[in-house]
Amino acid sequence: MLSYLISAVIICWLGIISMIIFRLRAHYYGLTTRTKKKNIDEVLDSILEKESVCENEIVLINKSLKQITSDNKKHFQKIGFLRFNPFDRVAGDQSFVISLLDAENSGLVLNFLYTREGVRIYAKQIKEGKAGEYDLSQEEKDVIKKAK
């Protein structure tokens, strides 16, 4: 009776070990046939090559992203708008000022003055939030502060 029990345990053990070996073998063949490699060493080498290529691409992408981010600071990001009435003889707030500034508060201010004779447009350069050559009017200073 004891010999039957030992034989049954050994047969079960061999069955379990055989299933594990067949699964590992199937997995191994799946790896080698899908990647068209002959053995597991070639599969691992190809994975390491692809990983190295991906690392290099990530470095290039990060460099490009930093360049784009630094270039983006030079584009107009802050816009301000203010309507005002510079003359009492003309009705309404038909004149207005627009500021176009980058991340460093540099850019330009456009002043549109509406008169009876027509519209006058004045442009002034702004560097780091301050006027370049010409003094700023109060409306122009206000629109620079208002720009977001």
Q: What is the pLDDT of residues 23-69, one digit of tens each?
A: 999 888 887 777 777 777 888 888 899 999 999 999 999 999 999 99
Kindly report whether the global pTM for this prediction surpasses the value 0.85: no
Same domain, 89 and 140: yes
Span 76-113, pLDDT tens digits:
999 999 998 887 765 678 899 999 999 888 999 999 99
Final residue belonging to a domain, choices 49, 72, 95: 72
Same domain, 67 and 86: no
Range of the structural domain that residue 89 is part of = 78-146
Same domain, 83 and 122: yes
- Is residue 123 in some structural domain? yes
Same domain, 68 and 82: no
DSSP string of 72-141?
Answer: HTTS--EEEEEEE---SSS-SS-EEEEEEE-TTS-EEEEEEEE-SS-EEEEEEEEETTEESSSPPPHHHH
> Token digits for 43?
């599969």
